[in-house]
Structure 1
Amino acid sequence: MPSVFTTPPPLEDGSQIAIVAPSRPIDESHLDRACARLRDTFSLEPVVFESARKDWEWLRENPRARAEDVMEAFEDPSIRGIIAVTGGDDQLRVLPHLDPTRLTASPTRFFGYSDNDNLRLYLWKHGIVSYGATLHPTLTVDPEIHPYIERYLNRAFFERSLGVVEPAPEWTDEWFDFDTGEPRDWRDNPGRTWHGEARVTGRLWGGNFSIVKWHLQTDRFLPPADELDGTILALETSEDVPYPREVRYTLRTMGERGLLERFDGLVMGRPRTHSPGLEWEPPADYGEQLRDEVLSVLAEYNPEATAVFDVEFGHADPNVPLPLGAKATLDPTVGRIRIE
């Protein structure tokens, strides 16, 4: 891994936070709603960059301009944080236009997940810790910000580390209806599932399963294999809800490439089991099937790894802005995750 990782300094009350769109745009109403919550709940001052006001056609045709907005936000000394408006499916096209010297000269807290894990893996390769949250849906859904999300966003914005990541009391993967504004149905949290007995500490690498798969396929922005030694793989499956066997196939290829054995641990986000427009109907035990497939690959390629499943990060709610590049400690003896 990079010899030195930098955790950008925390924000303060009244700090300016750049709003950029390195992936897709969002509706103006959603943008306004999220900016108001940044001001009212977190006492931050959003600065909306040009890309965040553009439509998808313009963004699709201008990956270089999207990259430029990100770099300008990093370079602006008045900006203390940067948050992506939402995810998407083509941020991989933005990465070739980034200049790492412009990003590393003034490390700034970057927030994004889903498609933005492309940029976060790029930052990881250059030794910069980044956090998993976006304007939408993190700061737009529900009548009020879920208190669990608010607690860990406060830590991600204003503290040096997230500390102990406690299980949430409830969870949901329902879509929020902005037309009615009605609260979503929440289910009791059944808890996390642990595998292995060893207490392990390592830097987090990974993110959205689809994005990790793209980077394995393109092999343009992966770190050298030995830089993954002793790290902890973080994976979440997003609203794509892939077939469990597809996750097994990808992890198996990582095993065959000699990558999977390099991780000391694995953190799997609680999977979504519902998403409009899916071409298949995930079974009620989708999460259990996914876990079994992952464990089958670990048993073959990395049987000593410590793993924990159904962690609060990714596309199910509520979630933690899990920081890639930060040190995580997985302690199965007490069932605790700590992020430093």
Structure 2
Amino acid sequence: MRHLSYPPKPRPGDRVAVVSLSSPGPALFPHVYELGLRRLREEFDLVPVEYPTTRAPRADPRDRARDLVAAFADPTVRAVLATVGGEDLITVTPHLDDAVLRADPKPFFGYSDNTNLLHHLFQLGVVAYHGGSVLVHLGRPGALHPLTADSLRAALFTSGWYDLTPADEWSDQPNDWQDPASLAVPPVMFPGQGWHWQGPARVVEGPAWGGNLEILHWLLAAGRVGPDADLTGCVLVIETSEELPGATEVYRILRNLGERGLLARFGAVLVGRAKAWDFARPLTGAAKQQHLDEQRAAVTRALGEYAPDAVVVFDVDLGHTDPQLIIPYGGTVRVDAPGRRISVRY
């Protein structure tokens, strides 16, 4: 089992880098971005530091890599937050200077396409943080969700154990960012139904690894994952994006991980609440529930075939969900099936 190093935490008043490593969200939706920055200042007492590509509409991958390296090289910057996800960060990581990232490791927060960098830091032996988005979660319409705010604050500033909490309400239907007036209206929310547990009644503890399932598949196809032994004893964390991959695709991705021998290495699996709505596919009612049920069945089938002894928890509020709980990527996660409890060490 790998043991990664936790980078030092920022303190209130510190400077933190805000970077756009993939999608140019701040250039497209400046009003949402500015709201996220204001909350970073006012609610977390952190000073955001921008870079040449943070608001650039079409930045070269080499320039985005240069900005990230500059953030890690600056001793006054004590954490790094991604503005949003995207779809081409896989072209950025080859241009990073790993010696600089190792020399002064800093907490990095991001999810979705940022799985590329989370995994890259994992391979460098540095704990990072799955979650936290300046646009999506800090820029949430109405107000920050209390669970998101509490988890992010704990991950930023504390180093002890933190118990994850099932959400009483949740949403996967964001407001329309193209309408600035929508920022004043909270998103539609649905009643929470808790987590759903499968597998043996035992306690599993290990470093977290995984992220967005589609991005993991890209990383595997690009030969970026390995050696496989580094994942032995890890807790697998998976979630799916607003592209709403179907049950067949989800099963096949997991089957491929199983055929490689990866799934058998995980003693526990945390499955994020599946996103089942997008502006291009606004599923509601029975169609939405069918998507959720079919995706859970696909995950259950694959894990039953390749990791039958794993403890599995569905509908954890991580990834493309609101609220969003922060997972320490490479940090320690404890999955207590008898106690129905998930704890993370930030």
What range describes the TM-score normalised by the shorter chain of this pair?
over 0.9
Asked whether the equivalents of residues 155 and 162 of structure 1 are also in contact (C-alpha less than 8 Å), the reply is no
Rounded to whole Å, the distance in 2 between the matches of 1:130 and 1:244 is 29
| Counterpart check, 1:187 vs 2:187 | no
Distance 1:162-1:270 versus aligned 2 partners, 3 A rule: farther
Cα distance, 1:279 vs structure 2: 9.6
| Counterpart check, 1:310 vs 2:315 | yes
- In structure 2, the residue matched to 1:249 is 252
Which of structure 1's runs of 4+ aligned residues deviate more than 4 A?
279-282
SS of equivalent residue, structure 1 residue 339? strand
Distance 1:41-1:92 versus aligned 2 partners, 3 A rule: same
**Residue-by-residue CA offset, 1:236-263 (whole Å, 9 max, x unaligned):** 0011111012111111111111111111
- In structure 2, the residue matched to 1:330 is 335
TM-score (norm 2): 0.93
- In structure 1, the residue matched to 2:46 is 44
Q: Which residue, 212, 217, 221 being the options, matches 1:213?
A: 217
SS of equivalent residue, structure 1 residue 307? strand
- In structure 2, the residue matched to 1:138 is 137
Asked whether the equivalents of residues 37 and 139 of structure 1 are also in contact (C-alpha less than 8 Å), the reply is yes
Amino acid at match of 1:174: Q
Q: Matches of residues 222-241 of structure 1 in structure 2 within 5 Å?
A: 222-241=225-244
SS of equivalent residue, structure 2 residue 279? coil
Rounded to whole Å, the distance in 2 between the matches of 1:154 and 1:50 is 27
- In structure 2, the residue matched to 1:28 is 30
Structure 2 stretches of 5 or more lacking a match?
A: none
Cα distance, 1:286 vs structure 2: 2.2
Rounded to whole Å, the distance in 2 between the matches of 1:36 and 1:246 is 39
Rounded to whole Å, the distance in 2 between the matches of 1:258 and 1:145 is 40
Q: Which residue, 68, 79, 89 being the options, matches 1:70?
A: 68
Cα distance, 1:104 vs structure 2: 0.8
Asked whether the equivalents of residues 264 and 306 of structure 1 are also in contact (C-alpha less than 8 Å), the reply is yes
Cα distance, 1:161 vs structure 2: 4.1
Cα distance, 1:278 vs structure 2: 3.2
Query: For this pair of structures, how many residues does the alignment match?
Result: 334
Asked whether the equivalents of residues 273 and 286 of structure 1 are also in contact (C-alpha less than 8 Å), the reply is yes
Rounded to whole Å, the distance in 1 between the matches of 2:30 and 2:307 is 47
Q: Matches of residues 251-270 of structure 1 in structure 2 within 5 Å?
A: 251-270=254-273
Rounded to whole Å, the distance in 1 between the matches of 2:148 and 2:288 is 28
Cα distance, 1:121 vs structure 2: 0.7
Cα distance, 1:91 vs structure 2: 0.5
Rounded to whole Å, the distance in 2 between the matches of 1:40 and 1:295 is 43
Rounded to whole Å, the distance in 1 between the matches of 2:7 and 2:280 is 38
SS of equivalent residue, structure 1 residue 36? helix
TM-score (norm 1): 0.95
Higher mean alpha-carbon deviation, 316-325 vs 156-165, is at 156-165
Q: Which residue, 286, 300, 303 being the options, matches 1:298?
A: 303
Distance 1:308-1:148 versus aligned 2 partners, 3 A rule: same
Asked whether the equivalents of residues 83 and 133 of structure 1 are also in contact (C-alpha less than 8 Å), the reply is yes
Structure 1 stretches of 5 or more lacking a match?
A: none
Rounded to whole Å, the distance in 1 between the matches of 2:120 and 2:66 is 15
Asked whether the equivalents of residues 156 and 162 of structure 1 are also in contact (C-alpha less than 8 Å), the reply is no
Asked whether the equivalents of residues 270 and 316 of structure 1 are also in contact (C-alpha less than 8 Å), the reply is yes
| Counterpart check, 1:128 vs 2:135 | no
SS of equivalent residue, structure 2 residue 289? coil
Q: Which residue, 84, 89, 92 being the options, matches 2:90?
A: 92
Rounded to whole Å, the distance in 1 between the matches of 2:232 and 2:262 is 9
Cα distance, 1:136 vs structure 2: 1.2
Rounded to whole Å, the distance in 2 between the matches of 1:314 and 1:238 is 8
- In structure 2, the residue matched to 1:10 is 9
Cα distance, 1:295 vs structure 2: 1.3
Rounded to whole Å, the distance in 2 between the matches of 1:76 and 1:311 is 35
Rounded to whole Å, the distance in 2 between the matches of 1:329 and 1:117 is 21
Amino acid at match of 1:315: H
Asked whether the equivalents of residues 152 and 162 of structure 1 are also in contact (C-alpha less than 8 Å), the reply is no
Amino acid at match of 2:227: P
